[in-house]
Amino acid sequence: MTWQGIRGHDAVVERFRTALGLHRLASTFLFVGPPGTGKRTFALKLAQALLCERVSEEQLAPCGECPACKQCLAGTHPDIDYVAKPEDKSSIPIELLIGSDEKRMREGLCFRISLKPFSGKRKIAIIDDADYLFNEAANCLLKTLEEPPPRSVLILLGTSEQRQLPTIRSRCQVVRFQPLDTNDVAEILVEQQLTADRNAAHQAAALAEGSVSAAVRLLESELSEFRAELLQSLAQSPLQPAVLMKLVQTYVDAAGKESAAKKLRLRDAFGFSSSYFRQLMLIGSGLAQPTAASRAWLDPAEMGSRGVELCLEATSAADSNAAVLNVLEWWADELATLQRTGTATLLSH
Ligand SMILES: [Zn+2]
C-alpha cells in the first residue's frame, strides 16, 4: 500500500490520521530513521495535507490541485519553512535559526515560525539534519520547542534518537521510520526513474539495507566494484591492514578535492564494512549460514560485534573532522588486531 505515493510507512500515516481525527496533533515532532527511508518526503507531504485548501486536514489526503497544494509541490508555499545543514558546514549554523548577529530574532526559522500564517491555516517548519544541531543552535531552538506558536508544527529529521541532545529529544514526539523493504526500494528506484533496469534496481535494493539514497549510490558501478573489493579484503586471513587502507584511500581520493564528497566515500567504506560485521554476528548467533567470506573470523559473534563498534567509531571520528588518513590507519590496524586476538581498543573506552 502507498499513501500519496509514499511507500512503507502506513503505520506512521495511521498515527497522524488518528491524531488529526481527534484534533490532537502535537506541535513538535522528531522523525528518526536511517537516511534514505523517506522522512523528508513524508514531512513535506504531511505539510501539504495540513495546508490543502480543499480537503480537510484530518483526511490526510491533499488534493494536489488547489493553489496551496501546487505551492507545496513547487516548494514555494510561504507557510513552509525548511532548514538543513549546509554541505560545507559541520553543524547547523545558529544564523539559520535566529538570524545573523545584526538581525537576531528578526530573521531565521524560529523568528519566521512565530509570525502569523499567510494562509491562515498553519505554519510548518522542517529542520533537516537534526543530528547536527549542537550547543548554541540547539539552545535557541529549545524555546521554540517549549512554547511552539499556536497552530505551528515543527518537524525535526534525524537518523536516530541517540544522536539528538536529550533536551531536544524530550520536547518532541518521536516518530520512527523503519528501513524500507527491498521491494519498496526497488520500486521507488524505478518509479522515480533513477534506473529503467529492473534487475539493477533489485540488485542495488538488496544491498541498500532499506535506504533509497544508499541504493541510488549503489547503482553507480564504481561503488559496487569498490564494495566487492572491500568485502574481499575483509575476508582475508590474515587481514592486511596496509592493503585495506590503500584500497579505501584510493577510492576516497578518486572523489576529487571536495571534502564533502570524500567524506561520503569514507562513510561508504565504514558502512559496507559495518554490514559485513553485522552479517558475521548473525552467523555467530546461528541466524545465518557461514560463508566463504566469514571463515577468516574465528569467533564471528564476538568479533562481528566488535567490528561493528569499530566501524561506528571510525564513522563518528570521520564526521568530527579527524584527518582521513589517521582514521583509516587506526581502523585498519584495529581490525587486523581484532581478527588476530579477538579484542580491539575502542577510542571511547
Ligand atoms: Zn489541495
pLDDT of residue 257: 86
**Centroid of ligand 1 to alpha carbon of 103 (angstroms):** 35
User: What pLDDT was estimated at residue 349?
Assistant: 42
Please give the distance, rounded to the nearest whole angstrom, from the Cα atom of residue 213 to the centre of ligand 1.
Answer: 28
Q: What pLDDT, on the 0 to 100 scale, is given for residue 347?
A: 59
* Ligand 1 mean position, distance from CA 38 (Å): 21
Report the separation in Å between the CA atom of 21 and the middle of ligand 1, taken as the mean of its atom positions.
18
Cis peptide before 34 (omega within 30 of 0): no
CA of 50 to the centre of ligand 1 (A): 9
Residue 81 CA to ligand 1 center (angstroms) comes to 18
pLDDT digits (tens, 9 = 90+) for 53-71: 999 999 999 999 999 999 9
Q: How far apart are CA 65 and CA 145, in angstroms?
A: 32
Q: Give residue 204 CA to ligand 1 midpoint distance, Å.
A: 35
Taking the centre of ligand 1 as the mean of its atom positions, its distance from the CA of residue 71, in whole angstroms, is 9
Q: How confident is the model at residue 240 (pLDDT cuts 50, 70, 90)?
A: very high
What distance in angstroms lies between residue 173's CA and the mean position of ligand 1's atoms? 26
Distance from the alpha carbon of residue 61 to the mean position of ligand 1, in angstroms: 8
The CA dihedral of 137, 139, 145, 151, to the nearest 10 degrees, is -50
31, 135, 154 from 165: Cα distances, Å: 14, 9, 16
Average pLDDT score over the chain: 92
CA of 114 relative to ligand 1 center, distance in Å? 24
Dihedrals phi, psi of 84, to nearest 5 degrees: -140, 165
pLDDT in tens, 181-211: 999 999 999 999 999 999 999 999 998 989 9
Q: 165 CA distance to ligand 1 centroid (A)?
A: 36
Judge whether 91 and 134 are in contact, CB under 8 Å.
yes
Q: How far away, in angstroms, is 120 Cα from ligand 1 center?
A: 15
Ligand 1 midpoint to CA 78 (Å): 15
Ligand 1: distance of its center to the CA of 119 in Å? 13
Residue 231 CB-density burial (10 A; 0-12 exposed, 13-18 middle, 19+ buried) = middle
Mean pLDDT of all residues in 146-168: 94
> Could you tell me the distance, in angstroms and rounded to a whole number, from the CA of residue 69 to the centre of ligand 1?
4
How many A from CA of 93 to the centre of ligand 1? 33
Residue 333 CA to ligand 1 center (angstroms) comes to 57
Helix 241-253 with 324-341: angle, nearest 10 deg: 150
Q: Which fold has domain 2-176?
A: Rossmann fold (3.40.50)
| CA 77–ligand 1 middle distance (angstroms) | 12
Q: Give φ, ψ of 30 to 5 degrees.
A: -120, 110
Q: Which of 92-96, 270-274, 317-321 has the lowest mean pLDDT?
A: 317-321
Distance from Cα 55 to the centre of ligand 1, integer Å = 6
pTM to 2 decimal places: 0.81
Amino acid letter for position 170: S
Q: What is the pLDDT of residue 88?
A: 82
**Residue among 81, 88, 5, 12 at smallest CA distance from 41:** 5
Query: For residue 270, how far is its CA from the centre of ligand 1 (angstroms)?
Result: 43
Maximum alpha-carbon separation in the chain: 67
Give the pLDDT band of residue 332 (cuts 50, 70, 90): very high
Ligand 1 center to residue 155 CA distance, Å?
21
User: Looking up cell 539534519, which residue turns up?
Assistant: 129
The residue ranges of every structural domain in the chain are 2-176, 180-218, 220-341
What's the gap in Å between 1 CA and the centre of ligand 1?
A: 22
Cell numbers linked to 261: 564528497
Distance 52 CA to ligand 1 centre (A): 4
Ligand 1 centroid–CA 286 distance in Å is: 52
Confidence of residue 14 (pLDDT cuts 50, 70, 90): very high
